[in-house]
Amino acid sequence: MSDGSEIAAVIESVRERVTPDAAERELLDEVAAELEARAERAVADLPVDADVVRVGSTARGTWLAGDRDVDLFVRFPADLPREDLERYGLAVGHEVLPAGHEEYAEHPYVKGEYRGFDVDCVPCHDVESAAAIRSAVDRTPFHNAYLRERLDEATAGDVRVAKAFLKAHRAYGANLRTRGFAGYLVELLVLEHGGLVHLLEAAADWNPPVRFDPEDHGVREFDDPLVVVDPTDPERNVAAALSATNLARLQHYSRELLAAPRASLFEPREPDPLSAADVREAVADRATTPVAVRFDAPDVVDDQLYPQLDRSLSGLHDGLERRGFDPLRSERFAAETAVLFVECAVAERPRIRRHEGPPVGVRAHAEGFYEKYEDAPDVYGPFVEEGRYVVERRRQFRTPAAFCEADALFDVSLGPHVASALESGYEVYAGPEVAALAAEFGVELARYFDPVP
């Protein structure tokens, strides 16, 4: 462990790199003010009252230099019917962002580019408190207000460095692809610990589950490894979407940083993409049997796509496990195509499989089992082992690829969009054939075959 000055110097150097300079701040202020004004003009034309609030990291001074996101929320009366809110919200959105397009979270909203900034224009309800929300987005203005009251310039700087740290280790972002730390969660953790170094020191020592409740108002238990009770809503865990793995990453890299402070730990690792030959070499070195199911990526937003890929991957993994192919590790990739990739330890199973029947002493069951298999073709047995009937039957799938190529693939738990994409056709690659994935997923495969925490 170094003394405090060493880590302070590293943090200071990172802070300089990730803090927007004056020109960037000015540009942001200017663009944000224009957007707010456009939104307010559009609101004025509506038959209902509404106000416009800027939210998100650019509104709170905690964005990373180079990020160019502006989030505008249009707050409508709490009793406005949902259909009206959606209609008015989209109307405002399209006026603010004439070239924008509609996306859908809990409500539809408009997303578009404006002077080089990515802008979201989102309608919400102006509710009494975050506990009274009608949809998840209603909560955001409360988060914003809570943090604006508490974040000073030094803390905002620590938040930026913390975000850069998590980003470097692919643990930043509450989206369902990453399942990392939300910006709001980072802000709360830095505030709760009184600065970044204290947070890192604490995180290095956490033995999950760990719970924080900044306003000391939590009213329920959570199962999650990290619990941070939302200061604006006692019912909610801000870290609910965080994966155990990303929490562990924060802990691991906190220890690394405290043990030997260095700026490199704040820089993303960008591996060189593997070539097809590299992939073949990696597979040969491991002598495993990877199998990949590749199909056209379903045309849905990432927050829909990745949970479905995860569910499908886990279904495929379990299916291969149940058939005895002993998966070592699995991963999903998505770009133009989507891939469920499972690396199996077992390349081939015998022609037979053991099938244990009931204890001979359970007469009705036992007689039924014996009669079923007594004269069945292609069956060894029934014989008796430790008081039970056992038979050895023909096995359905002798290789991982045979399983993936069969209709059995559709019996595993798949996300609905993945299932329909697979129905339109898919390719199966096995063993060295997975090298074909390198053209599209060379970087992902580099990460897979040279894994770090």
- For residues 154 and 452, which CB has a smaller minimum distance to a second copy in the complex? 452
CA distance 4 to 60: 28
Binding mask 133-172 for a second copy (x = CB under 8 A): ----------------------------------------
Rounded least distance, CB 235 to a second copy, Å: 25
Our CB check for a second copy shows the closer of 27 and 346 to be 346
Among 141, 225, 231, 319, binds a second copy (CB under 8 A): 225
* Nearest-approach distance from CB 305 to a second copy, in angstroms: 22
User: Nearest to residue 409, comparing CAs of 228, 418, 56?
Assistant: 418
Continuous segment of H or E residues that includes residue 227 = strand 226-230
Out of 9, 132, 136, 452, the residue judged to bind a second copy by CB under 8 A: 452
Q: Which residues contact 210 (CB under 8 A, 6 or more apart)?
A: 225, 226, 227
Query: x-or-dash pattern for a second copy, window 362-401, by CB under 8 A?
Result: xx--xx--x---------xxxxxxxxxx--x-----x---
- Choice from 326, 405, 427, 433 touching a second copy (CB under 8 A): 326
Six-digit token string for 100? 């924008």
Instruction: Please say whether the beta carbons of 73 and 122 come within 8 A.
Output: yes
Q: Which member of 29, 49, 215, 348 binds a second copy (CB under 8 A)?
A: 348
Q: Does 247 bind a second copy (CB under 8 A)?
A: yes
Distance CA(204)–CA(257), nearest Å, equals 10
If one asks whether residue 361 binds a second copy (CB under 8 A), the answer comes out as yes
Distance CA 289, CA 328 (A): 10
Which of residues 148, 220, 269, 286 is near a second copy by CB under 8 A? 286
Contacts of 364 by beta carbon, 8 Å cutoff, 6+ apart: none
Answer for which of 130, 164, 204, 238 binds a second copy (CB under 8 A) is 204
Burial of 4: CB neighbours in 10 Å, binned 0-12, 13-18, 19+: exposed
Query: How near is the Cβ of 345 to a second copy at its closest, in Å?
Result: 5
Q: Is 152 left (phi over 0), alpha (psi -120 to 50) or beta?
A: beta
Which residues pair with residue 133 across a beta bridge? none
Give the Cα separation of 169 and 180 in Å (integer): 10
* Single residue of 83, 285, 299, 336 touching a second copy by CB under 8 A: 285
Strands 337-344 and 427-430: unpaired
Among 17, 177, 252, 280, binds a second copy (CB under 8 A): 252
Residue nearer to a second copy on the CB measure, 188 or 366: 366
Nearest distance, CB of residue 251 and a second copy, angstroms: 5
- Answer for which of 288, 308, 312, 399 binds a second copy (CB under 8 A) is 288
Determine the 3-state secondary structure of 339 from DSSP: strand
Q: Which of 47, 81, 268, 451 binds a second copy (CB under 8 A)?
A: 451
Select the residue interacting with a second copy from 205, 296, 321, 411 (CB under 8 A): 205
Instruction: Identify the H or E element spanning 237.
Output: strand 233-237
CB 117 within 8 A of CB 69: yes
Residue 274 half-sphere exposure toward CB, CA atoms < 13 A: 21
| Least distance in angstroms from the C-beta of 351 to a second copy | 4
How many residues in the shown chain lie near a second copy by CB under 8 A? 58
Closest by alpha carbon to 333, among 214, 196, 230, 442?
442
What single-letter DSSP state applies at residue 86?
A: H
Chain residues binding a second copy by CB under 8 A are 204-208, 225, 244-245, 247-249, 251-252, 255, 285-289, 324, 326, 328-329, 345-354, 359-363, 366-367, 370, 380-389, 392, 398, 449-453
